[in-house]
A and B are shown apart, each in its own frame.
Chain A
Amino acid sequence: MSGGSNGSTGPPQGTPTAGSASVAGSPTPGSPATGSPETGVRALARFRAVAADPLAELAAVKERTGLMAVGYFDSYMPEEVIMAHGVLPYRVAVTGREDLRSGEFIQGFACPASRDLLDQALRGDLALLEGAVFTRYCDSLRGVFAVWDSEKLTPYVDFVRYPTVTKTESAVKYLAAELREVSARMAAALDAPADERRLLDAAAACNRKRALVAELAARRASRDLALSGADYLAVLVAATTMTPDDFTSELSALLAWPPPGEPGDALPVVLSGTTFDNVALAASIEGAGLYLIADDLASGSRWYCVNVETARLAAGEGSGMYADPWEALAHAYLTRPPCSVKEPSSPRADHLISQVRRSGAAGVLFYLTKFCDSEQAEWPYLRDRLGAEGIPAFVVEGEQKGAGSGGLQTRLEAFREQIEMSGDEL
């Protein structure tokens, strides 16, 4: 079997490197007149560099702009709120580095991704941040907040009393009011008042970058653009590290001049899970003959579909419920495809299945981060829903550390062989 119904278009082989003279790209119809095949190659190289060292990117931006930076930790936190204060938002990505510092403050059964975030702060890596804002995403992250807050790991620490219920009007109203209160505290703590005009501009800029990521994902899914899953993850990390305008400029270049990839015979699968930032681990997964053609990640397709209705608001046409920009923001973030920590969660399964269908993936790889209660409990349901659709699914549990183990490779190869032998084609 060559992998799925479109198995001839696997992950790109020998993905290009920046400045490689042998690599040529073709401009997308309608792409900017300026540019060259090298444009896309350079953009990809930039994304890879940012994902490899996001803090270096933050340092460079701070140096260039002189702005303060506030970190956040999960994709339910509207970065627009931070931007409204003229402050740089920075989603603290999971590094996957081995470190034991957090063990002095929190037990080992906190999820390793949460502990990774704490390790970064305890190492002093996040000294660039003037502040940090948490939401109650999960019980492990809540524990990290407690330590962060009491140890004052950043000068300003705040907490959004975030709703869990996402589908009620009262939740939207409440979150909007809560974001206003957080904004007021942020303004006082950083001496950086918010500006509603800037909030709208921020939402518009973030809409643009999210829409471009959605376009990238769609073109990957349709095999119009060959980019490895690892590189796609690098783009996702860069999306919440770079300034929106800078990111949008680079991704526009990549989309206009996509680096060429050669069709491979890897098995296309959808990667499902929560936040997943480990590019090396993704590369390792793809090294087992899988192609991460699409995703169902909290930091991926469940995030980039957020769209704040800014155009209507900016034109002064806002009316009714979401005439208020804070409510528009709250509505956009609450109505995204939900994570398993939100209620209801069942639309997540529909979203996952749609990712499989539109990409022609041969199956789903569910990456279960150890000690993640909500994902552990959601897996049997997702497995059954996928099974009812005839979609093979496979779970691997890990700590999002390093590039994965030999055992992981063996299991992934078994998954691939299992699908190939069963002849399941979607």
Chain B
Amino acid sequence: MSTRSDFRPMRLEATESLKSLIKTYYDDLFRTAAEGRPSVWLNVGVPCEFFYAMDVFPFYPENYGAACGAMKLTPKLSAIAEAHGFSADLCSYIRTTLGTVFSGEGPYGQLPRPTVQVSAMNSCVAIMVWWRAVERHWGVPTLVLDTPLVREDSTGINLDYVESEVRRMLSWVEEHTGRTMDEERLREVVRLSNEGKDLWAEVLDLRRARPCPVTAADIFTHMFPMVALRGTPQYVSHLRALRDEVKARVDEGFAAVPDERYRLLWDNLPPWFDLRIFGELAQMGVNFVIDTYTQAWGPRYMGPIDIDDPVRSFAGYMGAGFLNVQIGKRLELLTELVRDYEVDGVVFHSDRSCKPFSLVQVELRNMLLERAGVPGVLLEGDHNDPNLFDRERAMGRLESFLEVIDSGRA
């Protein structure tokens, strides 16, 4: 397999500006705690928009876990959680974050104890038990927002129930934080959120270009604002800058991967501790022009939210969130993506730490090959724990997969 050893992916300027965005966010988190203002820990299935409108600072431990993963801190923090009796088989985000909670170790020292925690069931059971562990350790009031798993959409009695759960959550947060929902502010937050999501959708859409203007690693790093800053002015300005930069690249015919020979789709979270792998693959002419993970924050799963009825609108998206639907919807998405982005093959990252994402992949791979004629390969790994990722084996499998694609072309 020929490679270009002199190749280095050109980073987006927007990626550079992320650093200050993240720093400001963490400064705000610690300032909030120092000033005694309320904060909340949320999982990514709970919209931060509500909390910005209530002036309750939202913090996403999954984001924090990913940051620790990128800094290769998971093995150390996981060992601390394991010493407290938590299994090494548990999700590596859980082990990472609990390691900090139990010890105060981590890139920012001890995280501030939140005022409350809310988790929704629209991703996995593990989220609930993760929050439960923090609740028990710190004594933080915690609420589980029920979003029963659905086949395809949240409608009828299911939507009514999820809406009632969202309203229950809002009342509960008001009761425990002393803050009330400002309806006018919520409208403004939702307006900004929708604006940002439109920009995000444009960025994803621009990836359809041949050659593709960005790499998967470029886009994965922008998940932070998509998760934690939705509905804020800085979120919109950041995404606008990102969109403009990506669009300029497309207009110039810029190729993020010169000699783009393989347009692949990445399914699942990336290995945060090894985003360099995408650069190495780029040397073989591989670009992951699209992925399923970032779609979870795209218009299909997150909006637009109805400004006039945000609670029910959010409930609909929460009830049918990316990981709260069944295999049929996943197949539908994959089929559309491989068609729209002219994908040559799909890499299914079989992520030990994300069962809902992963445990349908074998079936999806087979179905996609049958229905769309697009080959796929399973790559065993983990989103945060390098001990669960055999890099040499993974690269070997990927090289073999590229040969499969080549043979299909021949």
Instruction: Please pick, from A105, A165, A170, A370, the residue contacting B362 in the complex, using a CB distance under 8 A.
Output: A105
Which residues from chain B contact A105 at a C-beta distance below 8 Å? Answer: 362-363
Q: Judge whether B84 and A178 touch: CB under 8 Å.
A: no
A151 to B364 Cα, complex, angstroms: 11
Q: Judge whether B327 and A136 touch: CB under 8 Å.
A: no
Among A5-13, A141-149, A245-253, A279-287, the stretch in contact with B: A141-149
A180 to B: closest C-beta gap in Å = 9
Q: Judge whether A163 and B84 touch: CB under 8 Å.
A: no
Q: Judge whether B146 and A150 touch: CB under 8 Å.
A: no
Q: Judge whether A146 and B148 touch: CB under 8 Å.
A: no
Which residues from chain A contact B161 at a C-beta distance below 8 Å? Answer: 163, 170-171, 174
Q: Is A378 an interface residue (CB 8 A)?
A: yes
Q: Judge whether A146 and B128 touch: CB under 8 Å.
A: no
Q: A139-B355, A341-B125 are in contact. Are A146 and B363 (CB under 8 A)?
A: yes
Q: Judge whether B126 and A164 touch: CB under 8 Å.
A: no
Q: A150-B327, A377-B133, A380-B84 are in contact. Are A109 and B362 (CB under 8 A)?
A: no
A342 to B: closest C-beta gap in Å = 9
Q: Judge whether B356 and A142 touch: CB under 8 Å.
A: yes
Q: Judge whether B359 and A373 touch: CB under 8 Å.
A: no
A201 to B: closest C-beta gap in Å = 26
Interface string of B361-386 (1 = CB under 8 A from A): 11100010000000000100000000
Q: Judge whether B149 and A343 touch: CB under 8 Å.
A: no
Q: Is B326 an interface residue (CB 8 A)?
A: yes
Q: Judge whether B359 and A142 touch: CB under 8 Å.
A: yes
A164 to B129 Cα, complex, angstroms: 12
A287 to B: closest C-beta gap in Å = 26
B347 to A: closest C-beta gap in Å = 15
B47 to A: closest C-beta gap in Å = 19
Q: A146-B327, A373-B90, A379-B85 are in contact. Are A109 and B355 (CB under 8 A)?
A: yes
List A residues 140-186 near B (Cβ within 8 Å): 140, 142-143, 145-147, 149-151, 159, 161-165, 168, 170-171, 174, 177-178, 181
Q: Is A138 an interface residue (CB 8 A)?
A: yes
Q: Judge whether B132 and A146 touch: CB under 8 Å.
A: no
Q: Judge whether B168 and A107 touch: CB under 8 Å.
A: no
- The winner among B87, B124, B126, B361 for most chain A CB atoms within 10 A is B87
Q: Judge whether B89 and A370 touch: CB under 8 Å.
A: yes
A17 to B356 Cα, complex, angstroms: 46
Q: Judge whether A109 and B157 touch: CB under 8 Å.
A: no
Total A-B residue pairs with C-beta atoms closer than 8 Å?
139
Interface string of A287-298 (1 = CB under 8 A from B): 000000000000
Which residues from chain B contact A139 at a C-beta distance below 8 Å? Answer: 124-126, 355-356, 359
Instruction: Please pick, from B87, B350, B360, the residue contacting A146 in the complex, using a CB distance under 8 A.
Output: B360
A153 to B: closest C-beta gap in Å = 12
Which residues from chain A contact B149 at a C-beta distance below 8 Å? Answer: 136, 142, 159, 161-162
Question: Count of chain A residues with Cβ under 8 Å from any Cβ of B?
Answer: 48
Instruction: Please pick, from A140, A146, A168, A343, the residue contacting B168 in the complex, using a CB distance under 8 A.
Output: A168
Instruction: Please pick, from A147, A164, A376, the residue contacting B86 in the complex, using a CB distance under 8 A.
Output: A376
A104 to B129 Cα, complex, angstroms: 29
Interface SS, B side: helix
Range, interface on chain B? 35 or more
Q: Judge whether B129 and A377 touch: CB under 8 Å.
A: yes
Which residues from chain B contact A146 at a C-beta distance below 8 Å? Answer: 326-327, 359-360, 363
Q: Is B46 an interface residue (CB 8 A)?
A: no
Q: Is B56 an interface residue (CB 8 A)?
A: no
Interface string of B134-147 (1 = CB under 8 A from A): 00100000001010
Interface SS, A side: helix
Q: Is B346 an interface residue (CB 8 A)?
A: no
Which residues from chain B contact A107 at a C-beta distance below 8 Å? Answer: 350, 358-359, 361-362, 378
Which residues from chain A contact B151 at a C-beta distance below 8 Å? Answer: 159
Q: Is A345 an interface residue (CB 8 A)?
A: yes
Q: Judge whether B128 and A164 touch: CB under 8 Å.
A: yes
List B residues 152-195 near A (Cβ within 8 Å): 157-158, 160-161, 164-165, 168
Smallest CB gap from A180: residue in B: B157
Q: Is A310 an interface residue (CB 8 A)?
A: no
List B residues 337-364 near A (Cβ within 8 Å): 350, 352, 355-356, 358-363
A80 to B132 Cα, complex, angstroms: 32
Which residues from chain B contact A95 at a C-beta distance below 8 Å? Answer: none
Smallest CB gap from B119: residue in A: A343
A181 to B160 Cα, complex, angstroms: 15
Q: List 6 A-B contacts (CB under 8 A).
A: A142-B149, A147-B362, A170-B161, A343-B128, A371-B89, A376-B90
| List of 9 A-B pairs having minimum Cβ-Cβ separation, nearest first | A143-B359, A380-B85, A377-B129, A139-B355, A376-B87, A161-B148, A136-B149, A174-B161, A343-B144
- Using a CB–CB distance below 8 Å, which chain A residues touch chain B? 104-107, 109-110, 136, 138-140, 142-143, 145-147, 149-151, 159, 161-165, 168, 170-171, 174, 177-178, 181, 340-341, 343, 345, 368, 370-371, 373-374, 376-381, 383, 397
- Using a CB–CB distance below 8 Å, which chain B residues touch chain A? 84-87, 89-91, 94, 121, 124-126, 128-130, 132-133, 136, 144, 146, 148-151, 157-158, 160-161, 164-165, 168, 326-328, 350, 352, 355-356, 358-363, 367, 378
